[in-house]
Amino acid sequence: MAFLVYIFTFYIDGEMGIILLAFVVFAPLVSLIFALYAKNRVKVSFNCDAYVPKGSYLDVEVTVTKKGAFPLAILEICPYATEVFGQKVKKRKLTMFNEEKKSFTFRLDALIGGNGEVGIYAVYSCGFLGFMRFPLKTVLPRPVSVGVIPDIPEIKTSSQLFRSIADVVLTSDEEEENDTSMLFSANTSLGYEHREYVQGDPLKRINWKLSTKKSKLMVRLDEAAASVQPVLVLDLFRRSSIPVENAVIAEEQLLRSVFGLLTLLIKQGIACSFVYKNEMGEAVYESVDNPDYPNQLLLKVLALRVETDKRIDLSQLSSSVCACVIATTDAGAGFSVVTEQVTSKDNISIIELSAASANSTSLPLWYLDEDNNYKLV
C-alpha cells in the first residue's frame, strides 16, 4: 500500500499523492482511537431457551449496548456452542453509530440429545478499518447450559428386561404382605390399611385382590416399602481420553435406554428409585411413582454438565433393594468401583450401549436394540 502511494506521488500526481499519503498515515491512527475507545464502553449479553427438542433449532439473541453517544466502529463477536449442536457458528461483525443498543440472532441445530452449552468466548474492537483487534475489557456474559431433549422410545411390556424386573418386584411385594399380615386386625385387608382410590394415587399402591372383591379400586394407606422398589442408576461416565463428539452420542443413547425403561415401569404401576449425579458430583436418590415425573426428571438430568473421569457414588444405596439396574456409558476398566458399593449382588443388571460394549464384571449386560427391545448379551 505504501509502495503504491510512493509511485502515485512521485510519478503520477504529486498533489493527489500527498492527500493519499495523509490518508494512509492518519486513517490507521483514527481507527486505533476508535478501537481503544470501544474497549471499555460496550456490554454484550445474550438470551436463549433452557431446553430444546432434538431435531429443532435454538435461537440465540445477542444484545450489544454501548455507553455514551460516541459512535463505535467495528465490533467482532465470537459465539460458540458445544458438540450437541451444529458446529458452524459464524463470527458476527456490527457497527453502532446513533444506536445505543443493537441485537442480532443466530440459530443452532440441536443434533444430539444431552446437555450442551452456548456462550461467547471473545468480543473484539476492530476500529473502522477492521485490521486491528483489541479484546474488550468488560466482563463477557456467562455461558448458558442448554438441554437437548432426546426422543424417548416406547418399550414394549414383552421386553425380557422389564419382565424380569416386574417378576422380582411382584415376588418381593408378596413377601412384604406376608411379613406384615400379622400387624393388623381382622377388619383390615391382609397386610395394610386401605381406602378408596383417589385420582393421583400411585398405581403401585392399588390392592387388586381387594379391589376385585369390593368392585372398586382400593389403595393401601401406608407407603410401599423401599425394598419393593427397583433402583435405576444413571452413570453418565465420560473418559477424558475419548473425543467429546463421540461421548455425547453414547450419552444420548444411554439416556434413551434408561428413561425408556423408567417410563415403562411407572406406566405399569411399578414405583422406582432413580439415582443420578448432581452438579456437585453427589448421588441424588429420587422416588418416582407418578407417570408425569420421568419427563420432569429427564429435564433435571439434561440441565447437568457431565464431568469427566468421575463415577457415580452408590455408597448410600440401601442393601435391601429388590432389583438394581445400573445404566452406564462404560462398564469397562474401573466400573467395579460402582458395583462394589452395592452390598446385595442379587438381581443386579447393567444397561450398556451395544452388544460389543465392554463388561468388566460377571453381571448380566443388556442393551437397547434398533427395535427398542432390550437384548441380553
**Residues 259/113, Cβ–Cβ less than 8 Å:** no
Q: How many CB atoms lie within 10 A of CB 341?
A: 15
What residues does 125 pair with on adjacent strands?
Answer: 75, 134
**Residue 212 has what pLDDT?**
81
What whole-number distance in Å separates Cα of residue 262 and Cα of residue 270?
Answer: 9
Using alpha carbons, select from 146, 78, 138 the residue that is nearest to residue 118: 146
pLDDT at position 134 is 86
CA proximity to 78, closest of 141, 33, 28, 34: 141
45 beta partners: 63
pLDDT value, residue 342: 79
Q: pLDDT value at position 85?
A: 95
3-state secondary structure of 194: strand
Segments of the chain assigned to CATH 2.60.40.10: 38-149
> How is residue 125 written as a grid cell?
474492537
Report the DSSP pairing between strands 231-235 and 324-328.
parallel
Instruction: Provide the residue-wise pLDDT of the chain in tens; the chain has 377 residues.
Output: 777 777 777 777 777 767 777 677 777 777 787 777 777 788 899 999 999 999 999 999 999 998 877 777 788 999 999 999 987 788 998 888 878 899 999 999 999 999 999 999 999 988 777 778 888 878 899 999 999 999 999 998 888 899 888 888 777 655 555 444 433 333 333 445 677 877 666 666 677 777 888 888 887 765 444 446 899 999 999 999 999 999 999 999 999 999 999 999 998 888 899 999 998 889 999 989 888 899 999 999 999 999 899 999 988 887 667 789 999 999 998 898 888 877 767 788 999 999 999 999 889 999 999 888 999 99
Pairing relation of β-strands 114-125 and 144-149? antiparallel
Cα(167)–Cα(185) distance, integer angstroms? 29
Cβ-count burial 233-255 (b if 16+ within 10 Å, e if not): bbbbbbeeeeeeeebbbbbbbbb
Cα separation, 135 vs 158, whole angstroms? 60
pLDDT of residue 153: 94
* Predicted pLDDT at 88: 79
CATH 3.40.50 location in the chain: 160-171+225-376
How many Å apart are CA 137 and CA 37, to the nearest integer?
11
All three cell numbers of 161:
428386561
Q: State the architecture of 160-171+225-376 in CATH terms.
A: 3-Layer(aba) Sandwich (3.40)
Per-position DSSP letters for 228-277, written without gaps between them: GS-EEEEE--B-TTS-HHHHHHHHHHHHHHHHHHHHHHHHTT--EEEEEE
- Dist CA 320 CA 157 (whole Å): 26
What DSSP character marks residue 369? -
CATH topology of domain 38-149: Immunoglobulin-like (2.60.40)
227 with 219: CB under 8 angstroms? no
